[in-house]
Amino acid sequence: MIRPLNQIGKVILVTGASSGIGLATAIFLSQLGARIVLIARSKEALAAALAQLDGTGHRVESFDLSEAEAIPDLLKKLSSELGPISGLAHCAGSQAIRPLRILSTKDVESMFRLNVTAALMLAKGFRQKGVHTPSGAIVLVSSVMGIVGAPGRSAYCASKGALQAMARSLALELAPEGIRVNCVAPGYVRTPMLEQAAAVIGAEAMRRVEEMHPLGFGEARDVAQAIGFLLSDASRWITGSTLAVDGGYTAH
């Protein structure tokens, strides 16, 4: 492993840790020596994820992030039991293809509650006294859809763009407290979420989407490694930034 990414002994919280990018992030960070707090809703999926981690001292926490009001108290409890948290990767998120003609306010509110409101409450919880280490880092998983947009995904694109604006604002607000805040913006990555999208739009449309990535579709670990970099001391002078990890998708 690259020495600057060393996370030995650090406590890092990963949301959406039971599958996809969240699971890959938890695995990668555990390989770097971190103790991981895995957060997701399903106890069974969390148990399966825990079994894939390297090292010991990890913790699973079954929690519904849509219950955003309870998030700061959750982080306070976790830090009191495990010690100060060094990093937070918010990988949980909601995605749905909803053309404007069928988009409802319920769709919009549900997507923003998990993608945006939960992220804000995680940051609020992380910055509490005693919760984070003197130099902490937050990484929010946005999307290329927050940069370029796509038909039928206006609410999703809006929520992911909001994360990037949020990261810039929080970076300025939390810098005096020693907390860095950044985003990663993945392109299309081979995860269960991509499989769901393929089932909706069809194989031919998915082939055209892959052609828009000069390097092809990515793997969840490609994004996990970028998250690991932004959580590590190797990125100590980076905050308020969005790193596109997209195989060249946004280079068009």
Query: Does 86 reside within a domain?
Result: yes
User: Largest Cα–Cα distance in the chain?
Assistant: 52
156: annotated active-site residue:
yes
Q: Which residue has the tokens 């600057």?
A: 4
Would you state the pLDDT for residue 3?
Answer: 64
Query: Does 194 reside within a domain?
Result: no
Strand locations in 1-126 (E):
11-15, 35-40, 59-62, 85-90
Query: Does 20 reside within a domain?
Result: yes
Would you state the pLDDT for residue 197?
Answer: 74
Domain that holds residue 239: 3-187+222-244
Query: Does 195 reside within a domain?
Result: no
Query: Does 251 reside within a domain?
Result: no
pLDDT in tens, 166-196: 999 999 999 999 999 999 999 999 987 777 7
pLDDT in tens, 106-142: 989 998 999 999 999 999 999 999 999 999 999 999 9
Query: Does 213 reside within a domain?
Result: no
Q: How many domains does the chain have?
A: 1
User: What percent of the chain is predicted at pLDDT more than 70?
Assistant: 99
Residue 183 belongs to domain with CATH number: 3.40.50.720
Query: Does 201 reside within a domain?
Result: no
Report the SS3 class of residue 127.
Answer: coil
- Which is the catalytic residue, given 156, 188, 229, 249? 156
pTM score, two decimals? 0.94
Direct distance between the N- and C-terminal alpha carbons of the chain, in angstroms, rounded to an integer: 33
Quick one: which of 129, 124, 133 has its CA closest to 173? 124
Query: Does 215 reside within a domain?
Result: no
Strand locations in the chain (E):
11-15, 35-40, 59-62, 85-90, 132-141, 179-186, 189-190, 218-219, 242-245
How far is 224 from 246, CA to CA, in rounded Å?
A: 12
